Amino acid sequence: MTQSPMEGLIEQYLLLESFDVTEELLDLCGATLDARALPILKKRLQEEERQAVGLEARGYVRMREKSEQLAASLRPLIAALEGKTDVATS
């Protein structure tokens, strides 16, 4: 069974996210991540972008890279949930 492009984006994001945020998303949306999650996802994107800058300034390279990975996985997921992009072409 093949995975849909949206499922791939969700999986990639959740593998990087903390358990607390994943639990919050499950409470909000259940087993299906949808537009209801957008406020949380946008907040996490802003947090991770800010954190990456601070970590870089303090020389925490690996932690900065993880923040950048998380932000990079959030951007296409947010765009797909907002309907701004065709997930199949992402």
- Counting the structural domains of the chain, the total is 1
- Residue 3, pLDDT score: 73
Considering only residues 68 and 30, tell me which one the structure prediction assigns the higher pLDDT: 68
User: Which candidate, 31, 30, 41, places its Cα nearest to that of 7?
Assistant: 31
Q: How confident is the model at residue 57 (pLDDT cuts 50, 70, 90)?
A: confident
Query: Three-state DSSP class for 77?
Result: helix
How far CA 86 is from CA of 5, 23, 27, 36, 68, in Å, comes to 9, 27, 27, 19, 23
Q: How confident is the model at residue 89 (pLDDT cuts 50, 70, 90)?
A: very low
Whether the model clears a pTM of 0.85, i.e. scores above it, the answer is no
DSSP 8-state symbol, 4: P
User: Which candidate, 12, 35, 9, 37, places its Cα nearest to that of 23?
Assistant: 37
Q: Is residue 88 part of a domain?
A: no
Containing structural domain, residue 66: 5-81
Q: Is residue 15 part of a domain?
A: yes
User: Which candidate, 6, 5, 8, 40, places its Cα nearest to that of 23?
Assistant: 40
Q: Is residue 87 part of a domain?
A: no
